[in-house]
Chain A
Amino acid sequence: MRSILRTSDPIVRSVAALCAAGFVIGLSFGAIAAAAHIPLVKIVAMSVFIYAGGAQFLAVGIVSAGGGALAIILAGLLLNARHLPFGLAIGDVIGDRTATRAVGSHVLTDESVAFALAQSEPAARRRAYWITGLGLFCTWNVACVIGALAGSAIGDPATFGVDAAFPAGLLALVLPSLREKPALRVAVAAAVVALVATPFLPAGLPVLVALVGLVFALPLPMRERVTS
């Protein structure tokens, strides 16, 4: 890890930092799932095939609370529904070949989208997307297995502050896009809408409802008339 962090490639270095935080969260997922008496093979299947941290934690939480399969599926799909608009936004970054698209779509996460959007050139976008996608996929799955085997020996990831690392990292990636005034208006509106909606809606829905913030990107006829 030390040699990766010393590399001159800024994207590899940044992704490595995010992978380190993801590793700690993956460890805790494995440990929490094992504590909920989920067998190792199912923990591995969840992290490899569902591959969505939020939905995986939510599913284990529902099982621990005595919930059934339908609750797990509906809550998880609602939380993951944002992947559809994300895929529409960066779908051209992944690549055109069928195999590339099949693999590339599976490693679509908030982080791989944010890293891709932070680059301005198409080639750099593609590279950032794939490095983030594959890097996080590998670390996440290895961490889940180690966490499941180590079980209660794994401490609370909050001790290391990794819960603050992810929002801060995503913010650092989004900030350059916000220099454009319409994007800034959209982002602020979306954040406010999501926060206000959170107490009233199930997990996943506030983020989707926040898309109404897009109306703030529309041209402002009043202001234009005044300035002209």
Chain B
Amino acid sequence: MTWFAIGALAVGTYAMRLAGPLLRSRITLSETVKRYLSLSAVALLAALIATAALVEHGGFAGVARASGVGVGAILAWRRLPFVVVVVAAAATAALIRLLL
């Protein structure tokens, strides 16, 4: 791991993080554009959730993780508290790994 790689990745990542907030402060956006920007965040999060729940190294992430996220999804849908959702998802995945 060279200092050059760390520095370039850090600067590049920060630039991408700063670009959005900086642009938002310079330009006025219509309500329609704002709505589509919020929806794009929902789209990105949905894509992240799906891939993080099911994919690992380009293949299926395994029954344990998928089941854990599934249990969390059901509890979230039933509007249980956030802490319960997160703990239940982790506990389910851990338990299945212990048993399999």
Question: Helix, strand, loop or mixed for chain A's interface?
Answer: helix
Q: Which of A137-145, A146-154, A183-191, A220-228 contacts B (4 or more CB under 8 A)?
A: A183-191
Partner of A85, one of B20, B77, B81, B85: B20
Contact B41 A90 (CB under 8 A): yes
B6 near A50 with CB under 8 A, answer yes
Extra contacts besides A50-B10, A84-B16 (10): CB < 8 Å: A14-B82, A80-B16, A89-B38, A101-B25, A110-B48, A165-B68, A165-B87, A167-B89, A172-B82, A199-B58
Partner of B20, one of A87, A182, A195: A87
Q: How far is the CA of A21 from the CA of B5 in the complex (A)?
A: 28
Please tell me if the beta carbons of B72 and A164 are within 8 angstroms of each other in the complex. yes
Known contacts: A10-B81, A86-B44, A106-B14. The answer to whether A165 contacts B86 by CB under 8 A is: yes
Within 8 A of A (CB), among B1-23: 1-10, 12-14, 16-23
A-B residue pairs, 7 tightest by C-beta: A87-B20, A168-B72, A164-B68, A91-B24, A161-B93, A168-B89, A210-B47
Within 8 A of B (CB), among A32-67: 36, 38, 42, 45-46, 49-52, 55, 59-60, 63
Check A175 for interface membership: any CB of B closer than 8 A.
yes
B residues within 8 A CB of A87? 16-21, 23-24
Q: Complex: how many Å from CA A54 to CA B73?
A: 22
